[in-house]
Amino acid sequence: MNSLIIGNCRVSLHGLHRQNLELVTKLFHTDFELDSDLKPFSGISKNLSLEESIAILVETARDSHSKNMYLHSSTLVKGKRCIMLVGPSFGGKTTLTTALALTRNWKVLSEDLSIFDESEAHVIPYCIPLSIREGGWRLLQNLSDWKQIQLVKNRWLASVESFSQERGRAPSELWFLKSSLPDAQFKIEELGTGEFLRTIVHLTNALYAPKHMEIISSVLENAKLKTIENGSLEQRLDLVDRGVY
């Protein structure tokens, strides 16, 4: 049976239209084996569009990790560094993630949602398709070292070389992405554990279980915690790539 792995679950693709099956397999970048239960792809139909198929796959995978602590963020790795870009929807996470992956050789460990192992403060590889919005695409094309790529259906990034399946990584840096206002001063601020937790608490399910609070507290206590406010994509890219020590 055709299936793919998202995080710690294997999702069945039985019934998916052949054309969509090829694109989904390309977009989800899962080419390794893992012992896990098969999660049924409920509601599947050959009449579903690619967008609808991806939405159901992502929802199925997310629901199968309901017992795990998560944080709305992207996680990337490069050498010994493991960084997390935290922020709400439309906050620029995917645009900055794409820029780091395609211009600075970072590998994407998780996109949009970082899910932690239940027993350790490690991020589970969770590579869902990077969906590039029109505004973000324009910003990317204006980067000085941007190389032209073609998106799948003018929306999704399909570059398997940009993704990582490395396991057992805990973030060493967390960057909270604040809004970026035109002509406003570019600001970087370092926060303590308590203040950073208050900043991101609405983006995690950590408050719903004591074990989750232990995990997020351990992650924050062992990482550099910074916020970025304003600035161009190029400025944010350069800052996060080189790090601040």
Bridge-based pairing of strands 173-177 and 81-86 is parallel
Q: What does pTM read for this prediction? A: 0.89
Three-state DSSP class for residue 121: coil
CA–CA separation, 11 and 23 (whole Å):
15
5 or 146: which carries more pLDDT confidence? 146
Residues 74, 60 share a domain: no
Question: Mean pLDDT in the chain?
Answer: 85
CA–CA separation, 191 and 195 (whole Å):
6
pLDDT for 219: 94
Would the pLDDT of 72 be above 70?
Answer: yes
Q: What is the pLDDT of residues 10-64, one digit of tens each?
A: 777 777 777 777 777 778 765 434 334 444 444 455 567 888 888 888 888 888 8
Residues 25, 79 share a domain: no
pLDDT for 244: 66
Would the pLDDT of 180 be above 50?
Answer: yes
Q: What is the pLDDT of residues 149-171, one digit of tens each?
A: 888 888 888 777 788 888 889 99
By the 8 A CB rule, do 188 and 228 touch?
yes
Residues 124, 90 share a domain: yes
Q: Helix 50-64 and helix 18-28: axis angle, to 10°? A: 50
Q: Which domain holds residue 146?
A: 70-242
CATH code for position 90: 3.40.50
By the 8 A CB rule, do 75 and 82 touch?
yes
Of the candidates 15, 36, 64, which is a domain's last residue? 64
Find the radius of gyration of the CA atoms of the chain.
Answer: 18
Measured over the CA atoms of residue 214, residue 90, residue 143 and residue 148, the dihedral's sign is positive
Would the pLDDT of 223 be above 50?
Answer: yes
Q: Which of 91-95, 108-112, 133-137, 171-175 has the highest mean pLDDT?
A: 171-175
How many structural domains compose the chain?
2
By the 8 A CB rule, do 123 and 8 touch?
no
